Amino acid sequence: MASTVTKIKKNALSLFVEKGYTETSLADIAGRVGIKKQSIYSHFKNKEELFIQIIEEVVNEEIAFLNYYFNQYKNDPLEEVLYHFIIHIEKRFTSSKEDNIKFLLHMMFTPPNVLQETVIHTALGYYGELEKHIEQVFICHEEKINVTKEEAKTAYLAFFDGLLVELVYVNVPKFKKRFQLTWRIYWRGIKK
């Protein structure tokens, strides 16, 4: 059975995804958990402390996902590794059972004003790990690209960032259309 702290974090994460940081109150979280608001204070000093613990845990779990994905697929063809990474992110973002990636992407793009510096610093830990993995992919497949590893990595990350904006702020059908149209151009531009 999940502990009260685990329930608080899980429900707070869902509410932060649904309503955002500002619109989520400790009373909302307590109501979802089925406890009194005052009970949250026996585990967390305030909403900020709860949020910071959640974002740190989410970033660690998302880094673990990056490690898993890139270790599992590192020997696959270059195009598949890069293409399917974006597909995995989209599937996880649209899954009703997956709040981590939704939370992380929303907070990376629109961090709460009061926690902006902390959120950006924490989220950059995730992005730094992603950059290392993408760089390693191009090191392993350097003979298959007609640009430098640095150019391929930078272009991929810029391409990926643009797709994330479409996914987070627009809608899934437009994300899919943009992905399909731009992927062919990106891939033709870097492959030998």
How far apart are alpha carbons 66 and 128 in whole angstroms? 11
- The CATH architecture of the domain made up of 1-44 is Orthogonal Bundle (1.10)
Q: What stretch(es) of the chain map to CATH 1.10.357.10?
A: 51-190
| pLDDT in the model for residue 97 | 85
Low-confidence ranges of the chain (pLDDT < 70): 1-2
Q: Specify the pLDDT at position 116.
A: 94
CATH of 51-190, one of 2.60.40.10, 1.10.260.40, 1.10.357.10, 3.50.50.60: 1.10.357.10
Q: What is the DSSP letter of 21?
A: T
What pLDDT, on the 0 to 100 scale, is given for residue 1? 57
Say what the pLDDT of residue 74 is.
Answer: 84
**Triad 58, 114, 56: Cα angle to 5°:** 15
Provide the pLDDT for residue 62.
96
pLDDT of residue 75: 87
- The tens digit of pLDDT for each residue in 133-151 reads 999 999 999 999 999 999 9
Quote the pLDDT of residue 6: 95
